[in-house]
Amino acid sequence: MARRKVEYRWDAESIRALRKHMGLTQQQMSEELGTRQQTISEWETGMYRPRGGINRLLTIVAEQVGFEYSTSAEALSSDDEAEDGEVEEAPGDVEDTEEEQSAQMPES
């Protein structure tokens, strides 16, 4: 099987559309992908973007369920060039420690 040379960069709108196409809640999608519901929410709001293996996994899942997405050069680089780093990539695909979670919680 040949590998794709161009890998799709998932943005908030595409992730939400894929989830809805699959008929899943954020919780259900997080369980399918082996991540937290909060991570799905952060992707869908644009706070973070999936990277590495999870990015490839989303692409494979999309192809398996017949989800249409664009792989044009514009779609791949528009967010990176337009905002110049305003949207951070998601920190890893593993559960955060309690210390990391408390550090991420906004101060009241």
| Domain limits, the chain | 12-85
pLDDT digits (tens, 9 = 90+) for 85-101: 444 555 444 444 344 44
Q: Which of 67, 49, 58, 78 is nearest to 7 (CA)?
A: 58
**What pLDDT is stored for residue 65 in this prediction?**
95
DSSP state of 87: S
What span, in angstroms and rounded, lies between the C-alpha atoms of 90 and 79?
A: 15
pLDDT digits (tens, 9 = 90+) for 9-44: 899 999 999 999 999 999 999 999 999 999 999 999
CATH number of 12-85: 1.10.260
What span, in angstroms and rounded, lies between the C-alpha atoms of 4 and 12?
A: 22
